Amino acid sequence: MAALVDRRHIDFLLDEVLGLDAILALPAFAAHDRAGVAQILHTAEALAEAEFRPSYRHLDENEPRLENGRVVLPEQIGSALAAFRAQGFPGMTASAEHGGLGLPRLAANAAFLWFQAANVSIANYAMLSMSAAELLAAHATAEQKSRYLAPLIDGRTFGTMALSEPQAGSSLGDITTRATPLGDGRYAIRGTKMWISGGEHDMAENIVHLMLARIEGAPPGVKGLSLFVVPRKRLDAQGRPGIWNNITLAGLNHKMGQRGTVNTILNIGEDGETVGEIIGRPGQGLACMFTMMNEARIGVSMGAVAHASAGFLHSLDYARKRHQGRLPDNRDPASGQVPLVAHADVRRMILAQKIAAEGGIALGLKLAGLADLKSAAPSEHERADAGLVLDLLTPVFKAWISEECLAANFNAIQVLGGAGYTRDHPVEQHYRDNRLNPIHEGTNGIQALDLLGRKLAMADGRALRLLGEAVRKTQGPCGARAIDAFSALEKATAHLTHLRGEAGPAASLAHAADVMEIAGATAMLWMWADMASAATQALSRYTAADRPFLEGKIATAAAAAAYLAPRIDGALRRIMAGEAIHHGTSDAMLG
Amino acid sequence: MAALVDRRHIDFLLDEVLGLDAILALPAFAAHDRAGVAQILHTAEALAEAEFRPSYRHLDENEPRLENGRVVLPEQIGSALAAFRAQGFPGMTASAEHGGLGLPRLAANAAFLWFQAANVSIANYAMLSMSAAELLAAHATAEQKSRYLAPLIDGRTFGTMALSEPQAGSSLGDITTRATPLGDGRYAIRGTKMWISGGEHDMAENIVHLMLARIEGAPPGVKGLSLFVVPRKRLDAQGRPGIWNNITLAGLNHKMGQRGTVNTILNIGEDGETVGEIIGRPGQGLACMFTMMNEARIGVSMGAVAHASAGFLHSLDYARKRHQGRLPDNRDPASGQVPLVAHADVRRMILAQKIAAEGGIALGLKLAGLADLKSAAPSEHERADAGLVLDLLTPVFKAWISEECLAANFNAIQVLGGAGYTRDHPVEQHYRDNRLNPIHEGTNGIQALDLLGRKLAMADGRALRLLGEAVRKTQGPCGARAIDAFSALEKATAHLTHLRGEAGPAASLAHAADVMEIAGATAMLWMWADMASAATQALSRYTAADRPFLEGKIATAAAAAAYLAPRIDGALRRIMAGEAIHHGTSDAMLG
């Protein structure tokens, strides 16, 4: 069975490209060293293989059921998460003061990849809980942390994001769930939430919903939203889960993939009072929620790259073992068949996956490293700058990478041919599971609006300038292609900023998808240029046996440039020509 | 519920773009007129809605089962096909001399689109049977036709294509199924066939497998293959299905989608003698089979465009009804939400689908019209030329269109957001069903090799020249873009022909995928340019109420050019620069 994630690639990124050593040298991470990180990666892979991977297909075929108003989960989910908890993984990134391990994100997100690649439906429960812990660590009071945060970090309690409602999906400003003050700092919450992953189950001693609601009398729109922690079971005076908090399961959504992650519709406060506590200040709900949402957006696309990685390695393994056909120069039908991987078009599909999977992992871990610098760099200035680049790249990673990695899974199936379309191979399920990632935690259309409407202009364009400084430092054979790509992004941004001033935001934002195309391809080329540069430098240090590994990085970077540069050109041409695809069409002209 | 196929679009194509009237004027189609075609289209839509569409989800959730060595099909398949038969649809295109209706392909393929869009898993049984009838009509003896062809055209018997074997998928030259002469013109067949759609069931009085096998002593490779008709039940002296022919069901394949079409592994002649009759001459098996395979390749991508059409119309309907968010210029959160279709990025996703679905239907029906001319044009010269262009475009339609239409289904889901990812909407299933189309009847990689290695150079390049003459006649606002695209195809072809001479076929064929990209985008731009031109001319003739329909064609053609022209440029650039993606990579460098 092929590996889920190539450990050599992870080590190469950590050591040669992304500077794990420098991050480990920061005082915040003094408790950790490179050997410890290696041990955690090893444990993650072993645990993912032993406890997560075996039930991948089973959970697809036996999705959670609704029985007598309760969710029945396949037992493999609980047992895998119990093993995950036993090894301390839920607290990987939480700080030591809250009972966590305080690992750098760079190491933790790399380790978590194996769980996502092995069985994303199980990993989701953990991912949401870890993101909920981040939110509480950032915004809860000390007293709230003592009650809600520790059980999340310990893995006894799970967390959810409870934002969407039937009439409010992408448009969070239309949330109508109400919060009525109870006079003691607590609120009675009432409304309906939907698309809530992990919203109801019996697997943990409690579930805490991080929920957006509108305090009575608050203004309409997002400014009227506040954030609440709403537990499934109310905590008693000792902070232990006690009586049921009147959150009723109204139904389940049945998805194309990621079926093991139960997706719920919840009625809040319908059968009695549901009590929540406010987190942060009234009216600051969305801002607080973004701590979790940004985590989740990165987590979503780490899931996408994990699928791409697993599909890439499975199809490569298959292409090496399966013999079919002969090379074009061989006219002898009596000669033996060659491995699929020998065929040019199969190799094209393998390399396209390698670009997406390895480049996607690189970008995802680049973001993790920026998160580490944002929280732990020595100076306020460095922390702020890292945060800006992280904020700029988050929608790019979420949107562009999730689509590229789905395309990679298309190719994984295609390498296998008919076999890839059957449920006998995991690539079929990876493709279906991965199809969710362009949708949840903000659709890719919303991400593109965020990028063009907010992030590119953020801090007077400082985030973009900082990214440009980083990209322009890129050396090596593909550096020039990455720098050209960034220039296209700058040009598009300047043009659309001008257009916004001239013609208003709608005219500019109509080009959001094309700007995302340029930004995504630029980020990808940057990563591949950095990898090619690092590989070139490492050639003299690595053993002869490792040379093909390094040469593969250099060759793949060239292939990435050959495929991505024309896409950037096309998107830039459309932007400069004002050819947003829908221009000039009325509704009646659509069909 | 949205329509599956836009009848207005079909009529526009038939009357304004593809010249149905001229085809109906050919002597071969004297029995038909425009009003009759309209009636057939109407009946097809009504029947597809009434008998095919209602079980679309049911067949996905209740796939065929293997019970005691037999296939159990959900009853909806048989009842829908009985209704299809009762209306005479199995004989739509068969000639009157064989008991068919003798409809032009152009009309018949248009009518069949509704069945494919409504429930492709059922339509497949009919499609394979109609293709099998075509093969027998072209290559069987008169005596064989009397026994095997009439029941297919009548719909009493179903047909299959039985080519693949465990060791021979794309590489048909490696087929090992043996045929031993029985001395009376019949053969004993022995071997294993797999991926056989509709290979076993009790739904019809018989199944005839069109099977490739190697007569004992025949040479290796494709030159040693012969074609046999191998019935499930042997025909008795009166031509009636009699005793079982010892074809054993060895297992079923379980697919991601198209689950209602049972996919079988068959052991031939293992439990007793399996008897087949040769069709055509020994050693001519693959050439004869191509009659059916080319039919099936077009049928496959007609299925792909049917999925794109259904997804396009469903998501457009949803986008008009679902209200979410506000336009960027509106800062008032208390104002009402707007329909999804008002958002620029949603409209982009709708238009991208319109390009693929309507353009794909146009190209598919263009091929149907060429098939009509190939069989029925007045002069031998015209028939031959139509056949050349049809042969050239078949792999392009199969491969490039099937991928574009899958991408369209991606967008259909994306327009719906989370709802699109649930099994509550058909777009989820269309996406899974459509994922098969880039694989079966020759993977898209094989199609690209066929295009570059054979079709572009066919008849000393005459096919390509004829296509160029047709494209260069294109008028109207997008004509120049289509003509530029064709010039890129010529340039790429000339370059790779030269490269083949200089460096051998492998060096040239490594660029097959990029040539396919250019050819596909060129064909699509040609269709959109023709549609825009026809719409421009029709503006003065249509009523005011129809103007938006025509203006929509013109605007969509411009959008198609904005998106496709850069893709052509990128692929051409890679070809001219020798940047086949895998160049310079050894196996060890892949991962």
Q: What is the pLDDT of residues A314-340, one digit of tens each?
A: 999 999 999 999 999 998 999 999 999
Contact B550, B542 (CB under 8 A): yes
Taking the CA of residue A113 and the nearest CA in chain B, the distance in Å comes to 17
In B92-238, the DSSP E strands lie at: 157-162, 178-181, 186-197, 206-215, 225-231, 233-235
What tokens were used for B222?
């494709």
Q: Tell me, what's the pLDDT at B271?
A: 87
Interchain CB distance below 8 Å, B552 and A164: no
What is the chain A residue with the closest CA to B453? A328
pLDDT, tens digit, 9 for 90 and up, residues A192-244: 999 999 999 999 999 999 999 999 999 999 999 999 999 999 999 999 999 99
For residue B481 the two structure tokens come to 């873009």
Count of positions (residues) in chain B: 591
Q: How far apart are CA B486 and CA B480, in angstroms?
A: 10
Look over chain B and give the mean of its residue pLDDT values, rounded to a whole number. 96
Q: Determine how many CB atoms are found less than 10 A away from the CB of residue A501.
A: 10
| Element containing residue B100 per DSSP (H, E) | none
Cα A244 vs. chain centroid, distance in angstroms?
32
Helices marked H in B140-219: 142-144, 150-154
Using the predicted structure, report yes or no on whether residue B476 has a pLDDT greater than 90.
Answer: no
8 Å CB contact of B589 and A513? no
Strand B70-72 and strand B65-67: pairing?
A: antiparallel
- Yes or no, beta carbons of B220 and A585 under 8 Å apart: no
Cβ B328–A558 below 8 Å, yes or no? Answer: no
Does residue A583 have a pLDDT over 80?
no
Distance between B16 CA and the closest CA of chain A, angstroms: 17
Residue A579 pLDDT exceeds 90: no
Q: How far is A563 from chain B (nearest CA, A)?
A: 7
Instruction: Give B5-56 pLDDT, tens digit per residue.
Output: 999 999 999 999 999 999 999 999 999 999 999 999 999 999 999 999 999 9
Query: Residue A549's closest chain B neighbor by CA?
Result: B589
- A43: nearest Cα among A1, A98, A92: A92
The residues, any chain, with a CB within 8 Å of residue B41's CB and separated by 6 or more, are B7, B10, B107, B110, B111, B114
Q: Give pLDDT tens digits for A521-555.
A: 999 999 999 999 999 999 999 899 989 999 999 99
The secondary structure of A246-299 as a DSSP string is -EEEEEE--BSS-TTS-EEEEEESSSS-EEEEEESSTT-HHHHHHHHHHHHHHH
- CA distance, residue A328 to nearest chain B CA (Å): 5
pLDDT higher than 90, residue A581: no
**pLDDT tens-digit readout, A233-282:** 999 999 999 999 999 999 999 999 999 999 999 999 998 999 999 999 99
Instruction: Read off the pLDDT of residues A378-421 as tens digits, 9 standing for 90 and up.
Output: 999 999 999 999 999 999 999 999 999 999 999 999 999 999 99
Handedness of CA B496, B500, B502, B504 (dihedral sign): positive
On chain A, the residues whose CB falls within 8 A of the CB of B325 are 170-171, 174
Angle subtended by helix axes A105-139 and A75-86, to nearest 10: 100
User: Which one, of A564, A573, A561, lies nearest residue A529 by Cα?
Assistant: A561
- pLDDT tens digit sequence for B310-320: 999 999 999 99
CB A468 within 8 A of CB B290: no
State the pLDDT confidence band at B309, using cuts at 50, 70 and 90.
Answer: very high
What value does the mean pLDDT take over residues B204-209?
Answer: 97
pLDDT, tens only, B354-373:
999 999 999 999 999 999 99
Nearest to B241 by CA among B160, B143, B148: B148
Which residues of chain B does A431 touch, with a Cβ-Cβ cutoff of 8 Å? 256, 435
Q: Mutation test of the interface with chain B: which of A256, A354, A452, A531, choosing the one with the most B Cβ atoms within 10 A?
A: A256
**Chain B residue with Cα closest to A173:** B333
Residue B591 and residue A440: Cβ atoms within 8 Å?
no
Nearest to A591 among B6, B417, B591 (CB): B6
Mean pLDDT score of chain A, rounded to an integer? 96
C-alpha span between B458 and B451 (Å, rounded): 9
Residue bearing the bigger pLDDT, B111 or B545? B111
Which tens digit of pLDDT belongs to each residue from A295-304?
999 999 999 9
CA distance linking residue A425 with residue A317, whole number of Å = 12
Kindly write down the DSSP assignment for every residue of A411-473, as one continuous string.
HHHHHHGGGGGBTTSHHHHHHHHHTTTTTSSS-HHHHHHHIIIIITTHHHHHHHHHHHHHHHT
Nearest to A212 by CA among A169, A252, A255, A243: A169
Residue B62's SS3 state is coil
3-state secondary structure B240-290: CEEEECCEEEEEECCECCCCCCCEEEEEECCCCCEEEEEECCCCCHHHHHH
Record: contact A562-B581, CB cut-off 8 A: yes
B509: which 2 tokens? 């064929």
Q: Pairing between strand B274-279 and B186-197?
A: antiparallel
Pair A360, A305: CB distance under 8 Å: yes
The model carries a pTM of 0.98
At B63, is the pLDDT very low, low, confident or very high (cuts 50, 70, 90)?
very high
Find the CB nearest A509 among B195, B316, B344: B344
* Residues in chain A within 8 Å Cβ distance of B324: 169-171, 174
Q: How far apart are CA A52 and CA A58, in angstroms?
A: 11
* Residues B140-158: tens digit of each pLDDT: 999 999 999 999 999 999 9
pLDDT reported for residue B582: 72
Per-residue pLDDT tens for A96-122?
999 999 999 999 999 999 999 999 999
pLDDT recorded at residue B225 = 98
The closest CB to that of A169, out of B417, B577, B585, belongs to B417
Q: Which residue of A164, A344, A549 is in closest CB contact with B582? A: A344
Let me know: does A300 contact A397? Beta carbons within 8 Å: no
Query: Cα distance from A1 to chain B (closest Cα, Å)?
Result: 15
Q: What is the mean pLDDT of residues B336-352?
A: 96
- Of A156, A203, A193, which is closest to residue A276 (Cα–Cα)? A193
In this structure, what are the phi and psi dihedrals at residue B33, rounded to the nearest 5 degrees?
-140, 175
Q: What local confidence, expressed as pLDDT, does residue B184 receive?
A: 87
pLDDT in tens, B171-190: 999 999 999 999 888 999 99
- Active-site pick, B45, B134, B404, B441: B441
CB-closest option in A348, A406, A418 to B513: A348
B220/A558 touch (CB, cutoff 8 Å), yes or no? no
End-to-end CA distance of chain A: 48
B380 carries an active-site annotation: no
* CA-closest candidate to residue B446, choices A408, A323, A325: A325
Interface touch A223/B313, C-beta < 8 Å = no
pLDDT band for B579, please (50, 70, 90 cuts): confident
With CA atoms as reference, report the closest residue to A319 among B585, B304, B449.
B585
Residue of B256, B337, B500 for testing the chain A interface, max A β-carbons within 10 Å: B256
Q: Which of A16, A358, A441, A490 is catalytic?
A: A441
**Would you call B351 and A590 a contact, using CB atoms and an 8 Å cutoff?**
yes
CB contact under 8 A, A431 and B256: yes
- Facing A562 at nearest CB: one of B346, B431, B579: B579
* Contacts of residue A452, Cβ cutoff 8 Å, sequence gap at least 6: A496, A508, A509, A511, A512, A515, A516
CA distance A456 to A391: 10
**What is the least distance, in Å, from the CA of A433 to any CA of chain B?**
10
pLDDT at B477 over 90: no
pLDDT value for A153:
97
Tell me which residue of A158, A171, A148, A162 sits closest to A267, measured CA to CA: A162
Which tokens hold the place of A288? Answer: 């607080």
The per-residue pLDDT for A477 is 78
| 3-state SS, residue A123 | helix
Contact assignment for B549 to A169 by CB distance below 8 Å:
no
